[in-house]
Amino acid sequence: MKILLVDLKYDYGDANRGVNTIGEFGFHQALLALDHKVETFYYDDDLGGSPELQARLLRRAEEVRPDLVVFCLFRDQFKRETLLKLREIAPTLNWFGDDTWRFESFSSKYADVFTHIVTTDKFSVSAYRARGAKSVITSQWAAIDRHSKPRFAGEYQYDVSFVGQFHPYRAWVTGELAKRGLKVACFGHGWPGGSLSSEKMNSLFRHSKINLNIGNSTSLDLSYLTSHWKAIPLALKSRKTRSQIKARNFEIPFFGGFQLTDYVPGIEDYFDIGRELVCYRDIDDAELQIRYYLENESEREAIRTAGEKRASNEGYTERWRIILNQVGSSN
């Protein structure tokens, strides 16, 4: 299949933040690994969605004449009229990965525009269909299986680590754990530890006894809401009112790490909780789980090993194989 991939080349369209890792390795390289021919159309240079961008995309599609145009929309750079004209050239598909909090404000506007919709939120499927979507495919974020797995060096570097963009709630969780004597090594955009390359991040997962996963949705944990006068206003202003499964849930076990994650509805569809990963409900539960699994190495290692085995098929290559099979069967 000849595919035209429309995406950002850089993370959030900002070259200073480095390559769009999921776009390049989770989409582009995974599609190539499935023996598809992939042409790219990057739009980092026109995040305002100018009329010229609309024309350039249509010209590119006319030149390539793809069998499928794959999008991962960032914001509203492409107009409905442009996307409808594009469908006259080739079938289109968009990956919507934030429907737990962005469906009404964003995704719903495009429900009837794309030939195929991919959503990572199974609870949004009926809403898409109610708004005119004909082909709705449920998938999920994944691990970047085009990256090599790290080799364990023989000893752990950290007791507890966290990788993810800075967020006030995440800072409160890690800070509260530190007050309780549990230091969490934090890395990612906005943290003093800074961002990590994919290679270093994957190695960190394998060399941390416990990989803490903390969502950045609005937390209703009373301990957090009463921790600072800004906590409640920030929670009320946040658009992320529902937690969601993210790529990190798959990356940690895929690359051999033990995962302790905040519970997200639907995570049990992918992992056996307590056997392949461990979930916590609030800060007190997180502390309890961390202390328990630091002290019980054999149990922790059994869960780590089982999680890695389960996640071995949770990579983007397998995701795209399933998606494109469904696209083919619906045409």
Write down the pLDDT at residue 226. Answer: 58
Confidence of residue 60 (pLDDT cuts 50, 70, 90): very high
Q: Are residues 62 and 129 in the same domain?
A: yes
Tell me how far apart the alpha carbons of residues 103 and 241 are, in angstroms, rounded to a whole number.
Answer: 12
Tens of pLDDT, residues 62-116 = 999 999 999 999 999 999 999 999 999 999 999 999 999 999 999 999 999 999 9
Helix axes 283-295, 297-311, angle to 10 degrees: 110
Write down the pLDDT at residue 89. Answer: 98
Degrees, nearest 5: CA angle 271-277-278 = 120
Q: Is residue 326 part of a domain?
A: yes
Average pLDDT, the chain: 93
Q: Is residue 246 part of a domain?
A: yes
Q: Is the dihedral of CA 242, 142, 34, 22 positive or negative?
A: positive
Q: Are residues 181 and 288 in the same domain?
A: yes
Q: Which residues contact 188 (CB under 8 A, 6 or more apart)?
A: 162, 163, 164, 165, 166, 194, 195, 196
Write down the pLDDT at residue 9. Answer: 97
Q: Are residues 119 and 256 in the same domain?
A: no
* DSSP per position, 53-91: HHHHHHHHHHHH--SEEEE---SS-S-HHHHHHHTTTS-
Q: Is residue 43 part of a domain?
A: yes
Q: Is residue 147 part of a domain?
A: no
Q: Are residues 170 and 285 in the same domain?
A: yes
Reply yes or no on whether the pLDDT at 328 is more than 90. no
Reply yes or no on whether the pLDDT at 219 is more than 70. no
| DSSP at 22 | I
82 with 110: CB under 8 angstroms? no
Q: Is residue 182 part of a domain?
A: yes
Q: Are residues 254 and 109 in the same domain?
A: no
| DSSP at 230 | T
Reply yes or no on whether the pLDDT at 231 is more than 60. no
Q: Is residue 149 part of a domain?
A: no
Q: Are residues 116 and 252 in the same domain?
A: no
Q: Are residues 135 and 168 in the same domain?
A: no
116 with 135: CB under 8 angstroms? yes
Range of the domain at 231: 158-311
When pLDDT is averaged across residues 216-236 and rounded to a whole number, the result is 59
Q: How far is CA 30 from CA 24, 38, 181, in A?
A: 8, 10, 42
Q: Are residues 8 and 49 in the same domain?
A: yes
Confidence of residue 330 (pLDDT cuts 50, 70, 90): low
Q: Domain holding 302: CATH number?
A: 3.40.50.2000
Q: Are residues 243 and 306 in the same domain?
A: yes
Reply yes or no on whether the pLDDT at 221 is more than 70. no
Confidence of residue 215 (pLDDT cuts 50, 70, 90): confident
- For the chain, what percent of residues have pLDDT higher than 90? 88
**pTM (2 decimals)?**
0.91
Q: Are residues 183 and 295 in the same domain?
A: yes
Tens of pLDDT, residues 266-321 = 999 999 999 999 999 999 999 999 999 999 999 999 999 999 999 999 999 999 99
When pLDDT is averaged across residues 232-241 and rounded to a whole number, the result is 56
Q: Are residues 162 and 253 in the same domain?
A: yes
Task: Find where tokens 């961008």 sit.
Answer: 53
User: Total structural domains in the chain?
Assistant: 2
78 with 50: CB under 8 angstroms? no
109 with 281: CB under 8 angstroms? no
Q: Are residues 108 and 236 in the same domain?
A: no
Pairing of strands 37-42, 2-7: parallel
Tens of pLDDT, residues 20-46 = 999 999 999 999 999 999 999 999 999
Q: Is residue 150 part of a domain?
A: no
Task: Give the start-end residues of each E strand in the chain.
Answer: 2-7, 37-42, 68-71, 92-96, 116-119, 136-138, 158-163, 185-187, 208-213, 259-262, 278-280
Write down the pLDDT at residue 234. Answer: 60
When pLDDT is averaged across residues 171-193 and rounded to a whole number, the result is 96
Q: Is residue 231 part of a domain?
A: yes
